[in-house]
Copies of this chain bind each other. A is one copy, B any other.
Amino acid sequence: MQTLETTHPKLLELKTRLAEIHDIQAAASLLYWDQATYMPPGGAAARGRQLATLRQIAHEKFTDGEIGDLLNALEPYVADLPADSDDASLVRVTRRNYQRSINVPAAFMAKFSHCRSQCYQAWARARPANDFSLVRSHLERMLDFSREWANFFPGYDHIADPWIELADYGMKAVDIRTIFAELRQQLVPIVQAIAAQPPADDTCLRQHYPEADQIAFTHTLLSQLGYDLQRGRQDKTLHPFMTNFSIDDVRITTRIYEQELGQGLFSTIHEMGHALYEQGIAPELEGTPLAGGTSSGVHESQSRLWENLVGRSRSFWHYFYPQLQAAFPDQLNHVSLDTFYRAINKVARSLIRTDADEVTYNLHVMIRFDLELALLEGTLAVRDLPEAWNDRYTQDLGLTPSSDSEGVLQDVHWYTARIGGMFQSYTIGNLMGAQFFAAAIAAHPEIPQQIAQGQFHTLHDWLQTKIYRHGSKYTPAEILEQVTGQPLTTAPLMHHIRQKYGELYDLS
């Protein structure tokens, strides 16, 4: 009642406009979801046009000068409110997004968009052909556009900062470089120590696991972990993702490999971590720019927390392994929990990021982050990128790619989106995930024991209260400080790695 009485008329108008834009964006997300799950091949050409049309309309409506006028008119009103009130947060976050949208001319974005699709198509040919030269000139144009875009935001410390801010608001290249260097210094010797030991045996994962049985198992897993299937669903896709059309319709997609069990299991838990965040946002933020996770890094912290800190823990499988054995008796009845646990936590140096384990994963990310910065700075030329890539792999992971496909062509990111701010969120997410999980356990030391009993409500409620419900009200740094009392730090992640892998390997 009070809300209705006190709502500023300009705020109502702003919310009405934002809700309309939100609806259009939700429709675009559904078009994308359908494209990645059920769309027949014939639908592709029209779908591209439909997506472009909806995005264009949403962009036009959001960059309408009326939005700017409404934001200006509301400044005196929100100045009197607490900064973390819904209304003040709405105006602040909307202004941030608005400014970002109007800074870049529509004509530039149209050209950039064309360049992106050309480059993506060239990459799609270059990767199977294993030939970087087929995409080099396109990537050079991507770099030019990426630099030009950044220059619409003058006053940056580092040219990558505007791109980094887009994904992880408030973070800057210099700070990330510092913390990544610290992390790398600690990780490299651990990886070396493990590499010197006999590899863990993961053959139990590499058996035939029929798709339908895997889907059925992950489905029961999802409900037990707290994912609300009345407000979500799980479908098959090629490249798993989470998407949402409202707080009450948050879907995940999963990739199943019949010859390898880990892919389906852990990509499901990973995407579910993203989905729990979106399902947990306070209903009163629905239809506004606050109704979404606050940054890529914080989002990744939630997926990684559930995937790695919960889903790859011994206590988790203490509870679930009997269920898994019951689902796959032929494959697993003769495999002990300990063997299975070692298999899902096998550490191995590899050339491919998406195959990497919890320990080596961040090394892959940091290589990409450093190369992005060097490209944007102009200290590395696109033509020298494959060599620089291979050198860093040799140095950090002790392996040298024998071809571009298992080197610089492996990830689509640079070839379809931009160069800049594309990778840091993965490692920021791992760091934050460990910080949040440590804080949760400090507040509720019973959590690990509950996990071992298949109980997740304490952890889930804590994350809901501390993180999920706020949506985008707080910046990543604010939420981290509020919840953990600390800025971004490597200590909890390294503590987790040393403890867990110290038990599995000799790290002395």
Q: Report if A245-B40 is in contact (Cβ < 8 Å); known contacts: A27-B31, A31-B27.
A: no
Q: Report if A19-B54 is in contact (Cβ < 8 Å); known contacts: A229-B40, A248-B43.
A: no
Q: Which 9 A-B pairs have the closest CB atoms?
A: A46-B246, A43-B249, A42-B231, A42-B248, A23-B53, A23-B50, A27-B27, A40-B233, A41-B230
Chain A, residues 219-253, CB within 8 Å of chain B (1/0): the string is 00000000011111101000000000111110100
Count identical subunits in the complex: 2
Residue of B nearest to A56 (CB): B20
A45 part of interface (Cβ distance < 8 Å): yes
A49 part of interface (Cβ distance < 8 Å): yes
Is there an interface contact between A249 and B46, defined as CB atoms closer than 8 Å? yes
Chain A, residues 56-74, CB within 8 Å of chain B (1/0): the string is 0100000000000000000
Q: What is the CA–CA distance of A231 and B47 in the complex, to the nearest angstrom?
A: 12
Is there an interface contact between A232 and B53, defined as CB atoms closer than 8 Å? no
Which of chain B's residues have a CB closer than 8 A to the CB of A42?
228, 230-232, 246, 248-249
Chain A, residues 17-49, CB within 8 Å of chain B (1/0): the string is 001100110111011001000111111011101
Which of chain B's residues have a CB closer than 8 A to the CB of A233?
38, 40
A86 part of interface (Cβ distance < 8 Å): no
Is there an interface contact between A40 and B235, defined as CB atoms closer than 8 Å? no
Q: Report if A245-B49 is in contact (Cβ < 8 Å); known contacts: A30-B30, A30-B34, A31-B30.
A: no
Which of chain B's residues have a CB closer than 8 A to the CB of A246?
42-43, 45-47
Q: Which residues of A contact B (CB under 8 A)?
A: 19-20, 23-24, 26-28, 30-31, 34, 38-43, 45-47, 49-50, 53-54, 57, 228-233, 235, 245-249, 251, 286-287
Q: Report if A27-B40 is in contact (Cβ < 8 Å); known contacts: A45-B246, A45-B248.
A: no
- What are 8 contact pairs spanning A and B, CB under 8 A? A23-B50, A27-B27, A27-B53, A30-B31, A38-B38, A40-B249, A46-B245, A47-B245
Which of chain B's residues have a CB closer than 8 A to the CB of A235?
38
Which of chain B's residues have a CB closer than 8 A to the CB of A251?
40
Residue of B nearest to A49 (CB): B23
Q: What is the CA–CA distance of A286 and B49 in the complex, to the nearest angstrom?
A: 12
Q: What is the CA–CA distance of A246 and B41 in the complex, to the nearest angstrom?
A: 12
Q: For A54, give its contact among B23, B40, B232 (CB under 8 Å).
A: B23
Separation in Å of the A231 CB from the closest CB of chain B?
3
Which of chain B's residues have a CB closer than 8 A to the CB of A230?
40-42
Which of chain B's residues have a CB closer than 8 A to the CB of A26?
46, 50
Which among A26, A45, A249 has the highest number of chain B CB atoms within 10 Å?
A249
Q: What is the CA–CA distance of A31 and B24 in the complex, to the nearest angstrom?
A: 11
Is there an interface contact between A286 and B46, defined as CB atoms closer than 8 Å? yes
Separation in Å of the A300 CB from the closest CB of chain B?
24
Residue of B nearest to A53 (CB): B23
Residue of B nearest to A45 (CB): B248
Which of chain B's residues have a CB closer than 8 A to the CB of A41?
230-231
Q: What is the CA–CA distance of A53 and B43 in the complex, to the nearest angstrom?
A: 24
Residue of B nearest to A37 (CB): B38
- Beyond the given A34-B34, A40-B249, A42-B228, please list 19 additional residue pairs across the A-B interface where CB-CB is below 8 A: A19-B49, A23-B50, A23-B53, A24-B53, A24-B54, A27-B50, A27-B53, A27-B54, A30-B30, A30-B34, A40-B248, A42-B230, A42-B231, A42-B249, A43-B231, A43-B248, A45-B246, A46-B247, A57-B57
Which among A38, A43, A54, A235 has the highest number of chain B CB atoms within 10 Å?
A43
Residue of B nearest to A34 (CB): B30
Q: What is the CA–CA distance of A235 and B247 in the complex, to the nearest angstrom?
A: 25
Which of chain B's residues have a CB closer than 8 A to the CB of A45?
246, 248
Which of chain B's residues have a CB closer than 8 A to the CB of A19?
49, 53
Q: What is the CA–CA distance of A26 and B27 in the complex, to the nearest angstrom?
A: 10
Q: What is the CA–CA distance of A30 and B46 in the complex, to the nearest angstrom?
A: 12
Which of chain B's residues have a CB closer than 8 A to the CB of A228?
42
Q: What is the CA–CA distance of A233 and B229 in the complex, to the nearest angstrom?
A: 25
Separation in Å of the A210 CB from the closest CB of chain B?
15
